[in-house]
Amino acid sequence: MNEATRGEQAKVQYGIGTRAWAGLCHNCPICAHANRKPGTSFEKVMRWHRTWCPGWNSHTKVYGLKELPQ
Ligand code: SF4
């Protein structure tokens, strides 16, 4: 499924709030930045943050799990 089709399907399945949060997380560089510093407090805090971040939850619903650099 291409990105445009997935976007159209997301519009049908999810409300504007969920899509807005998903888009915010999709473009947010913070977790990717934290993941490049393994073992630091910053990386641990951001890992915890993802357990409750509405952006992360929405991204997972709409686009699937966000890939982070190792
Ligand atoms: S989980 Fe939160 S901080 Fe991390 S990339 Fe998504 S919106 Fe940004």
> What's the 22 CA to ligand 1 centre distance in angstroms?
9
Whose CA is closest to 60, among 8, 1, 29, 14?
Answer: 14
Break the chain into its structural domains and give their ranges: 3-62
Q: Measuring from atom 1 of ligand 1, which residue has the nearest CA?
A: 56
Q: Give the count of beta carbons closer than 10 Å to the beta carbon of residue 11.
A: 12
> What's the 8 CA to ligand 1 centre distance in angstroms?
23
Residues 6+ apart with CB under 8 A from 40: 34
State the pLDDT at residue 5.
74
Per the CB < 8 A criterion, the answer to whether 19 and 58 are in contact is: yes
State the pLDDT at residue 50.
98
State the pLDDT at residue 7.
67
State the pLDDT at residue 1.
63
State the pLDDT at residue 40.
98
Each residue of 2-34: pLDDT tens digit? 767 766 776 678 999 999 999 999 999 999 999
Each residue of 45-60: pLDDT tens digit? 999 999 999 999 999 9
- Residue 50 near ligand 1, beta carbon < 6 Å: yes
